[in-house]
Chain A
Amino acid sequence: MRTRWQRIKDSAFLYHFLRDPVAYVSFAILMVLTISAFAAPLIAPHNPYDPTTIDIMDAELPPAWTDEGSRTFVLGTDEMGRDMLSTMLYGMRISIIIGLGAVFLQAFLGIVIGLLSGYIRRLDNILMRIADVQLSFSTYMIAIFIGAIFQTAFGVANYEKIAAPLLILIIGLAEWPQYARTVRASVLAERKKEYVEAARVIGLSKLRIMGRHILPNTLSPVLVISTVQVANAIMSEAALSFLGLGMPLTKPSLGSLITAGFEYIFSGSWWITILPGILLVLLILVINLLGDWVRDYLNPKLYKG
Chain B
Amino acid sequence: MFAFTVRRILQAIVVMLVISFIGFAIKHNFGDPVRELVGERVTPEERAQIRERLGLNDPFLVQYSRFLVDALHGDLGRSFFFKRPVTEVILSKAPATLELVFCASLIVILLSVPAGIHAAIYPRRLLSRFIMGSSIVGVSIPVFLTAIMLIYIFSVELGWLPSFGRGETVLLFGFWESGLLTKDGLLHLIMPSVALSSIMLPLFIRLVRSEMMEVLESEYVKFAWAKGLQPRRVWYVHAFKNTLLPVITVGGVQLGIMVAFTILTETVFQWQGMGSMFIESVSRADTALMVSYIVVVGAIFVVVNTMVDLIYGLVNPTVRVAGRQ
Contact = CB atoms under 8 A, between A and B. Distances in A.
Touching in the complex, A and B, CB below 8 A?
Answer: yes
A137 B298 contact: yes
Nearest to A136: B305
Contacts of A231: 140
B152 A265 contact: yes
Contact of A152 (B141, B279, B282): B282
B140 A285 contact: yes
B253 interface: yes
B136 interface: yes
Nearest to A231: B140
B144 A281 contact: no
Contacts of B143: 239
A239 B282 contact: no
Interface in A119-174: 129, 133, 136-138, 140-141, 144-145, 148-149, 151-153, 156
Contacts of A152: 26, 30, 282, 285, 287, 290
Interface in B279-300: 279, 282-283, 285, 287, 290, 294, 297-298
Contacts of A148: 278, 282, 290, 294
B156 A268 contact: yes
Interface residues of A, number: 41
Contacts of B282: 148, 151-152, 244-245
Contact of A281 (B140, B264, B279): B140
A110 to B, nearest CB: 20
Interface in B182-221: 213
Consensus secondary structure, chain A interface:
helix
A137 B260 contact: yes
Contacts of A129: 11
By DSSP majority rule, is chain B's interface helix, strand, loop, or mixed?
A: helix
A258 B267 contact: no
Interface string A266-283: 101010011001001100
A149 B156 contact: no
Contacts of B247: none
A71 to B, nearest CB: 26
Pick the most buried of A140, A242, A281, A288: most chain B CB atoms within 10 A of its CB: A242
B108 interface: no
Nearest to A267: B156
Nearest to A289: B136
B325 interface: no
Given A292-B136, A305-B213, 6 more contacts: A151-B282, A231-B140, A242-B264, A243-B279, A244-B283, A266-B163
20 contacts: A133-B15, A136-B256, A140-B257, A148-B278, A148-B290, A152-B285, A153-B30, A239-B142, A242-B264, A243-B263, A243-B279, A244-B279, A244-B283, A255-B142, A258-B148, A265-B148, A266-B163, A281-B137, A288-B140, A292-B136
